[in-house]
Structure 1
Amino acid sequence: MNFVFVPGVNHGGWCWHPVGQRVRAAGHAVYALTLPGLAMGDDPSGLRLTDAVDHIVGEVERRDLHDVVLVGHSFAGIPISGAAPRILGRLAHVAFLSAFIPRRGESMAAALGPDTAAWMQSMVHASPDDTIDIDFETFSTRLMQDEPVELQKLVFDQLTPQPGGYVLDSLDVDGLDTLGVPMAYLLAERDIALAASGIELAGRLGLEPIMVPGTHEAMLTHPDDVAKALLTSTGG
């Protein structure tokens, strides 16, 4: 199978490398994407959610991948939900790790509640390049709480400001439960960063979550467990 990994807010493909190495060792091809605007040196201004969706579709088609396992973390649950219907004939499975499962017309900002949405909008509009960033206190207490400070700082230093359009835009697509593609929802046991409970989010797909240890950054702190759960749930 061809595993295509998509990262969440402020992250690049690098965040999937530990899991990807283990999946590759199990005999599969692995592709860890970095969405436009999130590689060092990219120009993030003006990018919209459609650009993220188009990039995922474009990479799968450019590489002519089939038997694809499309995997998204956090925010990436939104663009992979937009990409999946467009590459349906190439898909074998869709998997989520502590990911947003979008409702039609609901942006990531809106999913986080009106106060957070208003704050995100103000941050994007005040930014010279239309981005939104995260501070270390929020990252260390909400996304990677209780992990060693040295590790928190190491991961934080890899982060890149997020194109604002990615979090302010929404999709106008049916839920993935209508596609007839096998799916799995992995949920980190100590994740406190999601807009709703993982059980509710998995339930939007008609699934029960598969629990893995760790916080929102479980793919970095517990790659053995995440890789094993992914391989087991996708038949790999």
Structure 2
Amino acid sequence: MSDFILVAGAWLGAWDEVAVELRGAGHDVHALTLSGLAERRDTRPDGQQTHVRDIAEEVERLDLRDVVLVGHSYAGIPVGQAAARIGDRLRRVVFVDANVPVDGESFLSGWPSEHVRRTIDAQGGYWPPLGPEEYAGHGLTDEQIARIVEATPHPGITLTEPAVLDRPLSELPATYVKCLLDGHEPMPAVAALLGSDSWELVTLDTGHWPMFSQPSALARVLHEAAARP
């Protein structure tokens, strides 16, 4: 069995439902909350590299081997960088409907982000969760939508600092999980990586937050990804 580290995306903390499913399948699971979020909201990060260190240092602190790093949405950026740094401790990296790091580019690079940047400036350096109407059509219940809307504003500096890659992501064993209710086509940076022999694409017929809308299905995908050679 593998050691999973589950890292949530913007605004959110641990994925308890998925962790329970994976533990039931015999895996060791570590649900990591990044600095500045949820129960760690008082630990303000210096930038995106703080989140990369959060992940890499957790692997070292727990002396984990055979590690499956899992990042959702924004968390794909620090998870991808950490995966490139932990060497032979890594078994696989899984990106769940996630952004992937591009050397020298930030989370906000490559998409219309001026509104987000203005919001961060107006909110004292934080990006608050979107309004409830933004989560329609993603297979979420009203309670699940409220859980996201009421989550922690995200430290803006982690969204604007550029990524630093120690090795090409195409060299890493990786699974990309595309959630089809959030669009059928992976973003261009992901599509390019999927041309690598070490990357695979898996789809889920749900929205952008499968850890809430389909935790059992997501756990099965993660379990199967860990079994890949």
Shorter-chain TM-score range: 0.7 to 0.9
Q: Where in structure 1 do 4 or more consecutive aligned residues deviate above 4 Å?
A: none
Match for 2:144: what amino acid?
Answer: L
Q: Which residue in 1 is equivalent to 2:76?
A: 77
Q: Distance in 2 between matches of 1:155 and 1:120?
A: 17
> Are 2:129 and 1:134 equivalent residues in the alignment?
yes
Q: Distance in 1 between matches of 2:98 and 2:12?
A: 14
Contact 1:4 1:32 in 2 (8 A): yes
Q: How is 1:62-141 mapped onto 2 (pairs within 5 angstroms)?
A: 62-113=61-112, 116=113, 118-128=114-124, 130-137=125-132, 139-141=134-136
Point out where structure 2 has 5 or more consecutive residues left out of the alignment.
Answer: none
> Are 2:207 and 1:215 equivalent residues in the alignment?
yes
Contact 1:202 1:208 in 2 (8 A): no
Deviates more, 1:163-172 or 1:200-209: 200-209
Q: Which residue in 2 is equivalent to 1:164?
A: 156
Secondary structure of 2:85's aligned partner: helix
Higher helix share: 1
Q: Which residue in 2 is equivalent to 1:224?
A: 216
Q: Distance in 2 between matches of 1:197 and 1:156?
A: 26
In the TM superposition, what whole-angstrom CA distance separates every residue of 1:32-72 from its partner, at most 9, and x where no partner exists?
10000002463365630010001111111111111100111
Match for 1:120: what amino acid?
Answer: V
Secondary structure of 1:86's aligned partner: coil
Q: Which residue in 1 is equivalent to 2:38?
A: 39
> Are 2:188 and 1:197 equivalent residues in the alignment?
no
Q: Which residue in 2 is equivalent to 1:149?
A: 142
For residue 202 of structure 1, report the CA deviation from its aligned partner. 4.5
Q: Which residue in 1 is equivalent to 2:5?
A: 4
Q: Distance in 1 between matches of 2:139 and 2:29?
A: 30
Q: Distance in 2 between matches of 1:59 and 1:27?
A: 20
Q: Distance in 1 between matches of 2:93 and 2:45?
A: 29
Point out where structure 1 has 5 or more consecutive residues left out of the alignment.
Answer: none
Q: Distance in 1 between matches of 2:44 and 2:16?
A: 27
For residue 108 of structure 1, report the CA deviation from its aligned partner. 1.1
**TM-score relative to the length of structure 2:** 0.87
Contact 1:103 1:175 in 2 (8 A): no
Number of matched pairs: 222
**TM-score relative to the length of structure 1:** 0.85
Contact 1:67 1:92 in 2 (8 A): yes
For residue 160 of structure 1, report the CA deviation from its aligned partner. 0.6
Share of identical aligned residues, percent? Answer: 32
Cα distance change of structure 1 residues 176 and 41 upon mapping to structure 2, 3 Å threshold: closer
Q: Which residue in 1 is equivalent to 2:168?
A: 175
Q: Distance in 2 between matches of 1:86 and 1:4?
A: 15
Contact 1:101 1:204 in 2 (8 A): no
Secondary structure of 2:181's aligned partner: coil
Match for 1:140: what amino acid?
Answer: Y
In the TM superposition, what whole-angstrom CA distance separates every residue of 1:73-95 from its partner, at most 9, and x where no partner exists?
01111001111122112111111
For residue 154 of structure 1, report the CA deviation from its aligned partner. 3.6
> Are 2:177 and 1:186 equivalent residues in the alignment?
yes
Match for 1:12: what amino acid?
Answer: G
Q: How is 1:43-58 mapped onto 2 (pairs within 5 angstroms)?
A: 43=42, 45=44, 47-58=46-57
Contact 1:4 1:33 in 2 (8 A): yes
